């Protein structure tokens, strides 16, 4: 067993801070890395030591493998935690760390390599009787080969980049006439985004839910699952709202999908924390891909299971046997997460970076905020526009839902547009409340007018309140100023 005394976190923002916190609780020394854009970032201040990697662009900073390895050697670092994004799913980097006697907190380079490629992943699980979406099992480059295949699968079909991630490189094709153009676009997109133009075709499942299973595996062959998360509220095929457990998964299915996920993990000798993603349609689930890292939405699983996933990852990396059995995993209540992106929901979710003029976090029972910013800071244009994750826990779904609405109302952000008003709209929507929503929620139910409607409702409430305050003022001469202040504070709040 290798004792880890010092960890370097090769990431930034909320996830860097989240990892540093657990390391601190475990008595492990920490090293942060940062780019010139992040000199004042919270993760830099929080860590025991910090190393400047270079200029703001990721390629010159957070993706600079040699610089990061060099920093580890210089500061006698035992292990690297890569977080998500950046180098987290880079098999080459994991190998390089290993070659330099630094523990990579994550699965083996081989497992990363197989699961980082959607086609290789499908091949690897082929012997395990895992349900899969109908589609091609190899990369397509020739349009003439694709025509009969797409016809056989049946339109609409989905073109996907084998190396894809973060919802990028996907194209829906509704009819044969569009196939050639969409294929060419997808190939060039995949080449520029992932340096790999391999694409394949899947049946496009029109109404579906995204269900994924959290996995933990140790280095001794023990693998367990920590139940499912549902992440069906997406824009651009990327998640915005997640919850655990899912309303549509029965106890029996939970066992089935959990076992399928464990088999996917076993197919690549998986160790560490990982996520197996499925698409769910009319009671059936199909394997999509495996993400070989800590997932953005891991806090909802932490809330319902009471397990600190980063702590488990570190213990596993040290060679410890899993301290928990499958039977120990219980579901306690319900949890929701919303991703607070610096994006304008009334303008097609376009990134809206700038200065966080006001930034006041929600607090109180059952509320967790993971973020990496403070009031007055700029959101840099170079990286993912996620500002924060707001996660809540309740004894049941309804309690958690109402708590989320309360927390969203407490959150005060000005200076940039965020996804919060959109999230508020979702949490009040009847199909979200009854569980019948799917991944097309945004297309089906959301228009910018919905947000304006919400604003108008707030104006109305503000109007009522001002009348009440005016009434109070006329009936009581004392505390006049207090009322005035109350009133303006309310207005400010309601109009935000």
- Hey, which residues are catalytic here? 293
Name residues whose C-beta falls within 8 Å of residue 408's C-beta, 6 or more positions apart in sequence. Answer: 338, 362, 390, 420, 423, 424, 427
Residue 29: which of Mg ion, ligand ADP, none does it interact with, CB under 5 to 8 A by kind? none
The reply on whether position 166 binds ligand ADP by CB under 6 A is: yes
Q: How far apart are CA 279 and CA 277, in angstroms?
A: 7
Q: What DSSP string runs through 231-291? A: EEEEETTEEEEEEES-TT--HHHHHHHHHHHHHHHHHTT--EEEEEEEEEETTEEEEEEEE
Rounded to a whole number of angstroms, the minimum distance from the CB of residue 141 to ligand ADP is: 20
Window of 120-128, 219-227, 235-243, 274-282 that interacts with Mg ion by CB under 5 A:
274-282
Between β-strands 386-394 and 367-371, what pairing exists: parallel, antiparallel or unpaired? antiparallel
Q: How far apart are CA 108 and CA 94, in angstroms?
A: 7
HSE-up (13 A, CA, CB side) for residue 250? 5
In the list 202, 230, 302, 370, the residue contacting ligand ADP (rule: CB under 6 A) is 202
Window of 56-64, 237-245, 324-332, 412-420 that interacts with ligand ADP by CB under 6 A:
237-245
The reply on whether position 210 binds ligand ADP by CB under 6 A is: yes
**C-beta of 33 vs 124, nearer to Mg ion:** 124
Q: How far is CA 61 from CA 10, 35, 106, 112, 270, in A?
A: 10, 6, 21, 22, 29
Rounded to a whole number of angstroms, the minimum distance from the CB of residue 468 to Mg ion is: 49
Residues 247-276 that bind ligand ADP (CB under 6 A): none
Window of 11-19, 117-125, 269-277, 310-318 that interacts with Mg ion by CB under 5 A:
269-277
Size of the site for Mg ion (CB under 5 A): 1
| Longest alpha-carbon distance in the chain | 84
Residue 239: which of Mg ion, ligand ADP, none does it interact with, CB under 5 to 8 A by kind? ligand ADP
In the list 13, 85, 299, 366, the residue contacting ligand ADP (rule: CB under 6 A) is 85
Q: How far apart are CA 244 and CA 304, in angstroms?
A: 7
Residue 432: count other Cβ atoms within 10 Å of its Cβ: 19
Q: How far apart are CA 202 and CA 417, in angstroms?
A: 35
In the list 58, 64, 90, 234, the residue contacting ligand ADP (rule: CB under 6 A) is 234
The reply on whether position 439 binds ligand ADP by CB under 6 A is: yes
Is residue 369 within 8 Å of 14, Cβ to Cβ? no
Tokens of 13: 């923002």
In the list 114, 279, 387, 494, the residue contacting ligand ADP (rule: CB under 6 A) is 279
Residues 367-406 that bind ligand ADP (CB under 6 A): 384
Residue 14: which of Mg ion, ligand ADP, none does it interact with, CB under 5 to 8 A by kind? none
Window of 275-283, 297-305, 358-366, 375-383 that interacts with Mg ion by CB under 5 A:
275-283
**C-beta of 166 vs 333, nearer to ligand ADP:** 166
In the list 21, 123, 185, 237, the residue contacting ligand ADP (rule: CB under 6 A) is 237
The reply on whether position 189 binds ligand ADP by CB under 6 A is: no
In the list 29, 113, 239, 401, the residue contacting ligand ADP (rule: CB under 6 A) is 239
Q: How far apart are CA 334 and CA 280, in angstroms?
A: 20
Burial class from Cβ neighbours inside 10 Å (0-12, 13-18, 19+) for residue 359 reads: buried
Residue 410: which of 344, 350, 494 has the closest Cα?
A: 494
- Enter the DSSP assignment of 408: H
| Angle of helix 448-475 versus helix 480-495 axis, rounded to 10 | 170
Site map (CB under 6 A) of ligand ADP, residues 121-160, x = contact: ------------x------------------------x--
Residue 28: which of ligand ADP, Mg ion, none does it interact with, CB under 5 to 8 A by kind? none
**C-beta of 301 vs 418, nearer to Mg ion:** 301
Rounded to a whole number of angstroms, the minimum distance from the CB of residue 193 to ligand ADP is: 7
Give the residue closest to Mg ion by C-beta.
277
Q: How far apart are CA 240 and CA 77, in angstroms?
A: 35
| Angle of helix 420-427 versus helix 397-410 axis, rounded to 10 | 150
Window of 19-27, 161-169, 215-223, 467-475 that interacts with ligand ADP by CB under 6 A:
161-169
The reply on whether position 164 binds ligand ADP by CB under 6 A is: yes
Is residue 467 within 8 Å of 437, Cβ to Cβ? no
The reply on whether position 94 binds ligand ADP by CB under 6 A is: no
Q: How far is CA 30 from CA 44, 65, 229, 243, 449, in A?
A: 10, 18, 30, 31, 47
Site residues for ligand ADP per CB under 6 A: 84-85, 133, 158, 164-167, 170, 202-205, 208, 210, 234, 237-239, 277, 279, 288-289, 291, 295-297, 384, 439
Site residues for Mg ion per CB under 5 A: 277
């Amino acid at each position: 067993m290798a004792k880890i005394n010092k960890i370097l976190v090769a990431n930034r923002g909320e996830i860097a801070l989240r990892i540093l916190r657990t390391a601190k609780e475990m008595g492990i020394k920490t090293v942060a890395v940062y780019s010139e854009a992040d000199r004042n970032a919270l993760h830099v201040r929080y860590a025991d030591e910090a190393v400047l990697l270079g200029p703001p662009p990721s390629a010159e900073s957070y993706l600079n493998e040699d610089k990061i390895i060099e920093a580890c050697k210089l500061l006698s670092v035992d292990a690297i935690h890569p977080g998500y994004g950046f180098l987290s799913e880079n098999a080459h980097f994991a190998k390089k760390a290993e070659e330099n006697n630094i523990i990579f907190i994550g699965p083996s380079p081989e497992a990363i390599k197989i699961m980082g490629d959607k086609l290789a992943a499908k091949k690897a699980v082929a012997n395990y009787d895992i349900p899969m979406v109908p589609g091609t099992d190899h990369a397509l480059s020739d349009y003439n080969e694709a025509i009969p295949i797409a016809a056989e699968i049946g339109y609409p079909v989905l073109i996907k980049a084998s190396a894809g991630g973060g919802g990028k490189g996907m194209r829906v094709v509704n009819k044969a006439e569009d196939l050639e153009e969409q294929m060419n676009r997808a190939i060039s997109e995949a080449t520029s985004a992932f340096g790999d133009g391999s694409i394949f075709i899947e049946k496009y499942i029109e109404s579906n839910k995204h269900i994924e299973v959290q996995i933990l595996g140790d280095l001794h062959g023990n693998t367990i699952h920590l139940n499912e998360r549902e992440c069906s509220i997406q824009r651009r095929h990327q998640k915005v709202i997640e919850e655990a457990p899912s309303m549509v998964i029965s106890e029996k299915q939970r066992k089935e999908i959990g076992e399928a996920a464990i088999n996917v993990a076993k197919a690549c000798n998986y160790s560490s924390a990982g996520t197996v993603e499925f698409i769910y349609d009319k009671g059936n689930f199909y394997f999509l891909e495996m993400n070989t890292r800590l997932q953005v939405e891991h806090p909802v699983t932490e809330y319902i299971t009471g397990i600190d996933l980063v702590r488990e990852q570190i213990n596993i990396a040290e060679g410890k046997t899993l301290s928990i059995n499958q039977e120990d995993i219980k579901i306690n209540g319900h949890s929701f997460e919303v991703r607070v992106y610096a994006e304008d929901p009334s303008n097609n979710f376009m990134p809206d970076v700038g200065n966080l003029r006001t930034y006041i976090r929600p607090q109180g029972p059952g509320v967790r905020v993971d973020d990496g910013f403070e009031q007055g800071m700029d959101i840099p244009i170079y990286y993912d526009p996620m500002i924060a994750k707001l996660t809540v826990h309740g004894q049941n779904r309804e309690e958690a839902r109402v708590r989320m609405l309360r927390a969203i109302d407490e959150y005060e952000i000005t200076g940039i547009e965020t996804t919060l008003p959109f999230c508020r709209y979702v949490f009040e929507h009847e199909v979200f409340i009854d569980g019948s929503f799917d991944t097309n929620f945004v297309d089906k139910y959301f228009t910018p007018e919905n947000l304006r409607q919400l604003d108008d409702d707030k104006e109305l409430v503000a109007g009522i309140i001002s009348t009440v305050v005016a009434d109070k003022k006329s009936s009581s001469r004392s505390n006049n100023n207090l009322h005035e202040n109350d009133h303006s504070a309310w207005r400010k709040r309601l109009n935000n």
